């Protein structure tokens, strides 16, 4: 059981965890020991609240498939258990990010002084660019 917050808990039955051989260069054990962990978490079939599911699915994350399955792979550590803890921790952090309510933006207008300063800067920059021009043959 993975406890995300006090109210959000993900059971082991919702997670599909498989061990496999790690990729890349390694020592003598790399071709013999299945130390990498492959975690699959079906967002739509999970017990998460609907608003969290929607936020997870709306993330621009290449680890989430079109079917709504989050796939995490852990192979940084030498042991299977360390990779398993790493993958579960990353899943927990990802879900925590969507539980935080985004602040609603309040539309504001620039003050009159800010408008005047902006126009003043634009006029000043235009004058500088005018001075860079080659003089015309009328002058």
pLDDT at 102 > cutoff 80 = yes
Give the mean pLDDT of the chain: 87
pLDDT at 73 > cutoff 80 = yes
CA distances from 128 to 108, 116, 117, 118, 138 (A): 32, 19, 17, 16, 21
pLDDT at 8 > cutoff 90 = no
Mean pLDDT of 61-72: 89
Res 30: pLDDT: 63
Residues in Cβ contact with 30 at an 8 Å cutoff, skipping those fewer than 6 apart: 21, 22, 24
Q: How far apart are CA 97 and CA 82, in angstroms?
A: 23
CA contacts within 13 A on the Cβ side of 2 = 26
Please write the tens of the pLDDT for every residue from 31-64: 677 788 999 998 888 888 888 889 888 888 888 8
Give me the residue spans of the domains in the chain: 2-99
DSSP label of 68: S
Hey, which CATH number is domain 2-99, 3.20.190.10, 3.30.160.20, 1.20.1070.10, 2.60.200.30? 3.30.160.20
Q: Which residues does residue 39 pair with via DSSP β-bridges, in sequence order?
A: 17, 72
Helix, strand, coil percent content, the chain, rounded in steps of 5: 40, 15, 45
116 token code pair: 């005047």
pLDDT at 13 > cutoff 90 = no
Grade residue 27 by pLDDT with cuts at 50, 70 and 90.
Answer: low
Res 139: pLDDT: 59
Res 136: pLDDT: 81
Q: How far apart are CA 80 and CA 73, in angstroms?
A: 12
pTM of the model: 0.68
Higher pLDDT, 37 or 28: 37
Mean pLDDT of 63-76: 89
Torsional sign, CA 92, 48, 10, 81? negative
Angle between helices 80-99 and 50-58 (to 10 degrees): 110
């Amino acid at each position: 059981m993975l406890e995300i917050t006090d109210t959000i808990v993900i059971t082991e039955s919702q997670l599909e965890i498989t061990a496999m051989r790690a990729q890349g260069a390694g020592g003598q054990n790399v071709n013999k020991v299945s130390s990498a962990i492959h975690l699959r978490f079906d967002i739509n079939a999970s017990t998460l609240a609907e608003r969290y599911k929607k936020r997870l699915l709306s993330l621009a994350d290449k680890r989430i498939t079109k079917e709504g399955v989050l796939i995490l792979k852990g192979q940084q550590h030498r042991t299977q258990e360390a990779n398993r803890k790493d993958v579960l921790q990353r899943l927990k952090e990802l879900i925590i990010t969507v539980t935080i309510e985004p602040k609603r933006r309040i539309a504001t207008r620039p003050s009159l002084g800010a408008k005047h300063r902006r126009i003043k800067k634009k006029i000043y920059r235009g004058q500088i660019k005018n001075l860079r021009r080659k003089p015309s043959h009328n002058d």
